[in-house]
Structure 1
């Protein structure tokens, strides 16, 4: 499987994709909502091996889907994004509101931008999403 080729399970999910003409009807918040779910599923698949207890899976996944980690992931991806992808992240940043108290507003905006990008690419260009996700590095050391 090539670096930008989708795994079979993701190819099946792509058959559910929304027609690109309808994407403009979606709010950045809707794209971030979708992106959050897609990203968490992706991260969960990254930690399946070696097999471990559910609690260990949970700790590793939560560490990667936290806003702080998503903000860092966005910073890593920014140099690789096209102008259209940067526009999607800008829309997500501008739509971010109502952050949790524990978070810096900028971190929350960047995390929302990241989720918006993931949601946008999931429904418009899944191979590109796979290419960008492949750039992310995850710490695979077992959780305590």
Structure 2
């Protein structure tokens, strides 16, 4: 099976994968906390995966100089990509920033940087658990 070249993919394609990768990590985290009821799991997951939460996480990453220059490049590739879907329940700017967040996650997955991906996901989950980011329900 051929491997996708992350350097050639557009930001939306990277975000497509990154959304799934981050979602799975969050779901595993919630199950590890002992949550089992589907409705509760879905509501709690929103705190981590909503566009507003992801935009807030990017802001914290920037404030803490957490990302490398190359990681910022892939974030910007996603943020600046022309999406044919529109924001639901959030502003266009927040939606674009969250697309950048997801593109960053997709880039890390496809470039084989699984330890860095896990590190950032753990950091993101910790920020949400500590109440450092807001989300919308």
Give the shorter-chain TM-score range: 0.7 to 0.9
User: CA shift at 1:18, angstroms?
Assistant: 3.6
Question: Structure 2: which 5+ runs fail to align?
Answer: 131-137
Partner of 1:135: 123
TM-score by length of 2: 0.80
Q: Distance in 2 between matches of 1:50 and 1:74?
A: 28
Post-superposition Cα deviations, 1:77-128, rounded to whole Å, max 9, x if no partner, equal 2321000001001111110534225321211111001000000001111111
Q: Provide closer, same or farther for how the CA distance between residues 44 and 128 of structure 1 changes in structure 2, counting only shifts above 3 A.
A: same
Unaligned 5+ segments in structure 1 are 1-15
Match of 1:86 among 72, 75, 81: 72
- Is contact 1:32–1:113 with CA below 8 Å preserved after alignment? yes
> Is 1:100 aligned to residue 87 of structure 2?
yes
Larger Rg: 1
* RMSD between superposed Cα atoms in Å: 2.1
Mapped contact 1:17–1:123 kept (Cα < 8 A): no
Structure 1 runs of 4+ off > 3 angstroms?
Answer: 16-19
